[in-house]
Amino acid sequence: MSSLSSVQQICSQVDQLTERRRYAQALELITQGFQSSPANPELLYREAVVEFSMQNFDQSRESLRLGLTESPRHFGMRVLLADVDVVQGRLAEAERTLLGLLAERPTSSALHASYADLMFRALQIEKGTALAAEALRLDPHNPHALYVAAIGGCIAAGSRGEGPALALLVEARPDATKTVLALITHLMHAGRFSAAHRLAIEILESRPDSEEIQSLVAETECLSHWTMVPLRPVLRWGHAAQVPIVLLATVVLATVLLAMGRRSLGNEGQLILAAAACAFLLYLAFYPRLLRFLVRRRLGLKGSST
């Protein structure tokens, strides 16, 4: 048997073992392959894939470095290198790699999906949503395209739409939870509470026992409730700044209203204005805590968010 055919057989077996998550056996086979074909690019690529699947990202990067030294234009290794860069937070490097790959294969659904995933991680939501839609158009059955399109759909449309639920797609991508949680935080800071709530509900279905995500669902439900609309500008500053901002706003409002009342209203009118200002102050100061308590109680969560 020739060395080339032996390597091809080993690569085929490694692919099958990796698909079944039998990573230790896959690495043993790769080691055997190196004995007959040292520094073989295909074996180095498989080694990088296995290490990436085991979340050994530094080892995966090293295998890719060696492999790309032997075969600089290897498509699969360059795609995987972009994935490693994304996971390790090297987003600019990943974008450069993906743009180069897309220039070579502009109709690749997988590359558009990877680029969309990168944009979501970089919190460029509009660009990520557009890329996700293009990835799904190019291949409606690509799992990665379905995943990024589900994220974009939750943010933009407000409904799950057709196809697999986001929760199922997240379960198939162990690194996806971190991306979705970062997006939820970004959407909350941007005041897009309804979109954040939809994503939180979806991610809870993939991790129903997570107290952190349960609390996130409760918090986003409160913030997206219609009765919280008057407070949304204040909430952008965070809960710590809520009370002083509310007090300052109420004092200014009361002063203005009373000044106006002295000129155009009698004593009774001034009392009505003062009562309205006090009621608004009580709403701003206490209603959010009450709503959080009621929502958490309805969801069966312990305690109340402050």
DSSP notation for 207-264: STT-HHHHHHHHHHHHHHSGGGGGGHHHHTT-GGGHHHHHHHHHHHHHHHHHHHHHHH
State the Cα–Cα distance between residues 154 and 206, nearest whole angstrom. Answer: 15
Domain shared by 21 and 64, yes or no: yes
Domain end: 59, 84, 104, which one?
104
* Domain at 41, CATH number: 1.25.40.10
Domain end: 104, 127, 157, which one?
104
pLDDT, average across residues 9-15: 90
Model confidence at 269, pLDDT cuts 50, 70, 90, reads low
Q: Is 288 left (phi over 0), alpha (psi -120 to 50) or beta?
A: alpha
Chain segment 54-92, per-residue pLDDT in tens: 989 999 999 999 999 999 999 999 999 999 998 888 999
240-244: list long-range contacts, CB under 8 Å, 24+ apart: 242/284, 242/288, 243/285
Domain shared by 116 and 184, yes or no: yes
Which of residues 270 and 48 earns the better pLDDT score? 48
pLDDT given at position 101: 96
Chain segment 113-157, per-residue pLDDT in tens: 999 989 988 888 889 989 999 999 999 888 888 888 878 877 765
Domain shared by 302 and 246, yes or no: yes
Single out the residue of 77, 75, 74 nearest to residue 60, CA to CA.
77
pLDDT given at position 220: 82
159-164: list long-range contacts, CB under 8 Å, 24+ apart: 160/202
Q: What is the mean pLDDT of the chain?
A: 79
pLDDT given at position 162: 44
Model confidence at 296, pLDDT cuts 50, 70, 90, reads confident
Chain segment 203-254, per-residue pLDDT in tens: 777 677 777 778 888 888 888 877 777 776 666 555 555 556 666 666 666 6
Domain shared by 77 and 147, yes or no: no
What are the distances in angstroms from CA 111 to CA 94, 101, 142, 151, 167?
12, 8, 11, 17, 22
Q: In degrees to the nearest 10, what's the CA dihedral of 109, 114, 115, 120?
A: 130
